[in-house]
Structure 1
Amino acid sequence: MTKSLIAAAALSATLALSATLAGTSAEAAPAVKNVVLVHGGFVDGSGWQGVYALLRKKGYSVTIVQNPTTSLADDVAFTKRAIAQQDGPVVLVGHSYGGVVVSEAGTDPKVKAVVYIAAFAPDQGESVSSLIANPPPGAAVPPILPPVDGYLALDKAKFAAAFAADVDAETAALMADSQVPWGVAALTGAVSNPAWKVKPSFYLVASDDRMIPPPAQHQMAKRAGSTIVESKGSHAIYVSKPGVVADIIEQAANAK
């Protein structure tokens, strides 16, 4: 084979390889790199620390919303401001009552997927109050104290067993003693157009949850058509098992 033929063959092979790589690159859409985390009632955003650290190590840009948990409208407004600050598509994640917030805020055009972590996933017109009105027989009763000035709190002595049974004792005590009063108005706030009807959704069921019964979690997740992952864990699974939570968020970020 002459030098010119060898050169032509090499050039042809190079062009073919380049075309193959270009096609592969075009087919593989980049993963979403922005994650917005929304906490639930009785707590603040600090519980996301472990999940935050794991996602940051993997290259994600992570924003933790510090919702006031005063009313659904206020909490949605805080969350939408966080979404607006992102420079691209977003995976929106909510724990517990935060699921109601992300259901309402998740219709934002920037949101690619919604992730529920042991969370409420209401349908149109539903609220936390309506979803907890008829608990399954034998379900654990959360130790919620009578409202004071329009706000709720959990009995500190029963907080760990109900909310954070698999969290170390020192952290659970800190969570109990640093509770954020949860506005009754937030519980009655109804969702207008749930994001799970128009966006892909993912749901992590905590099988040992004593705040939101696991059967109720499964029911809401199935109704939403969510991709469901179940893991042994308390209501505070986002604190006790940050790796499991980070994994389902990554699954949502990379979903087609």
Structure 2
Amino acid sequence: MKTIALKEQLNRYFMFAVLLFSFLFSTATATAQTAPFVKNVVLVHGAFADGSGYRGLYDILTKKGYNVTVVQNPLSSLADDVRVTNLALDKQDGPTILVGHSWGGTVITEAGNHPKVAALVYIAALQPDNGENSVQWLQTAPPAPENGVLTPDDKGIVYYDKAKFHAGFAGDLPKEQTDFMFASQGAFVAQGFGTPITKAAWRDKPSYGIVATEDKSIEPSIERAMYKRSNTKITEIKGSHVVFISQPKAVAAVIIKASQDVAKK
């Protein structure tokens, strides 16, 4: 009888422990899910990869309740890219996190003055100041051997060299994937790299910057220098220039952090 009573008592303790754990877990989960965050995210791509590269990041963020818009830049000029980014921002129903990769960093530096932009996130991106252009920063360190110097063709368009695209742009992705990315790159008008910023939004908006430590397109030291100059909150992630494709969870974490930080203010 004593053995049966002891078993019943142990069973009651076990059931109590299970119920307590379930309660604590559900409470913690509910707290995490209801933590305030800015739900709108606008993603701006760079010069040699179109918006489809953001698919992995889109999937992660939308599953967490974010409203994500991907801009397709015409790449015809800084003004044109800023214009289409502003059109995407106009559609948002409230505060928005504006994200830019590579050349997209220059775009969001100008477009980030939009009143709906609550914070900026730079992914291995250019971040010029007032009166500065992109090429100034690209020239502050020698190009990686895998990349080389990009030169415009006779029509003033810059295309990434096919022989260098995989190693120089996206070395941590399968070559079959980068072959498609090369084939789908846009026609980037080189003049954009020389167009200066008129008003740098990072001077007035909270900024977060991702350094891709294995970047061969923009030297990581250039990214660090720009971000430190602007007091941008820096996160270093091991990855190629397209770290948002190879490491989407790590990049999403920075965007989520930005969305939560500005929601608290």
Fold match (TM-score > 0.5): yes
Counterpart CA distance in 2 for 1:116 and 1:62 is 16
1:189 aligns with 2:195: yes
Contact 1:143 1:158 in 2 (8 A): no
2:37 matched residue in structure 1: 31
Runs of 4+ off more than 3 Å = 138-143
Partners of 1:202 and 1:124 in 2: CA distance: 18
For 2:79 and 2:244, the matched residues in 1 are separated by 24
Q: Secondary structure at the match of 2:210?
A: strand
> What residue identity is the alignment partner of 1:209?
D
Overall identity of the aligned pairs, in %:
47
**How far has the Cα of 1:139 moved from its partner?**
4.3
Choose which of 64, 75, 99 in structure 2 pairs with 1:58.
Answer: 64
Residue in structure 2 matched with residue 161 of structure 1 by the alignment:
167
**DSSP 3-state at the match of 1:55:** helix
Contact 2:138/2:222, CA 8 A, preserved across alignment: no
Distance (whole Å) between structure 2 residues aligned to residue 124 and residue 234 of structure 1: 28
Three-state SS of the structure 2 residue aligned to 1:73 is helix
Deviates more, 1:170-179 or 1:73-82: 170-179
CA distance in 1, matches of 2:124, 2:148: 14
> 1:117-137 CA deviation, whole Å, 9 max, x = no partner?
00001111111122223325x
Structure 1 match to 2:214: 208
Whole-angstrom distance in 1 between the partners of 2:81 and 2:155: 19
Q: Secondary structure of the residue that 1:121 maps to in structure 2?
A: coil
Q: In 2, distance between residues paired with 1:77 and 1:142?
A: 31
Alignment partner of 1:89 out of 70, 95, 106: 95
3-state SS, counterpart of residue 159 of structure 1: helix
The residue type equivalent to 1:187 in the other structure is: F
Instruction: Give, in angstroms, the shift of residue 148 of structure 1.
Output: 3.3
Alignment of 1:199 with 2:217, yes or no, is no
Measured against aligned partners, the alpha-carbon deviations of 1:50-105 in whole angstroms (never above 9, x if no partner) come to 00010000000000000011100000000001001000100000000000000001
* Equivalent position amino acid for 1:196 in 2: W
Question: Hey, what does 2:182 align to over in structure 1?
Answer: 176
Report deviation, 1:30.
3.1
Distance 1:146 1:74 in 2: 19
Question: Does the residue aligned with 1:59 lie in a helix, a strand or coil?
Answer: coil
Give the residue type in structure 2 aligned to 1:225: N
Q: Return the alpha-carbon distance in structure 2 between the equivalents of residues 220 and 87 of structure 1.
A: 31
Normalised by the size of structure 2, how large is the TM-score?
0.83
Q: 1:46 aligns with which of 47, 52, 65?
A: 52
Q: Tell me, yes or no, if the aligned pair for 2:208 and 2:258 is still in contact at 8 Å.
A: yes
Partners of 2:35 and 2:164 lie apart in 1 by 47
Q: Deviations over 1:217-241 (max 9, x none)?
A: 1111111111110011000101111
Quote the residue 1:22 is aligned against. none
When the two chains are superposed, the root-mean-square deviation of aligned CA atoms in Å is 1.7
CA distance in structure 1 between the aligned counterparts of 2:250 and 2:149, rounded to whole angstroms: 27
Letter in 2 for 1:252: A
How many Å separate the matches in 1 of 2:231 and 2:209? 9
Q: Which runs of 5+ in 1 are unaligned?
A: 1-24
Q: Deviations over 1:21-66 (max 9, x none)?
A: xxxx9xx983100000000002210000000010000000000000
Task: Find the counterpart in structure 2 of residue 150 from structure 1.
Answer: 156
TM-score (norm 1): 0.86
The equivalent position to 2:131 in structure 1, one of 106, 125, 128, is 125
Kindly tell me: are residues 166 and 207 of structure 1, through their superposed partners in 2, closer, same or farther at Cα, counting changes over 3 Å?
same
Residue from 70, 74, 79 that aligns with 2:76: 70
Report the Cα offset of residue 147 of structure 1: 2.1
Partner Cα separation in structure 2 for residue 36 and residue 229 of structure 1? 20
State the match for 2:232 in structure 1. 226
- C-alpha displacement at 1:158, in angstroms? 1.1
Task: Show CA shifts across 1:158-209 (max 9, x none).
Answer: 1000000001221111111222111112111211111110000000100000
Change in 2 beyond 3 A, CA 1:143/1:158: farther
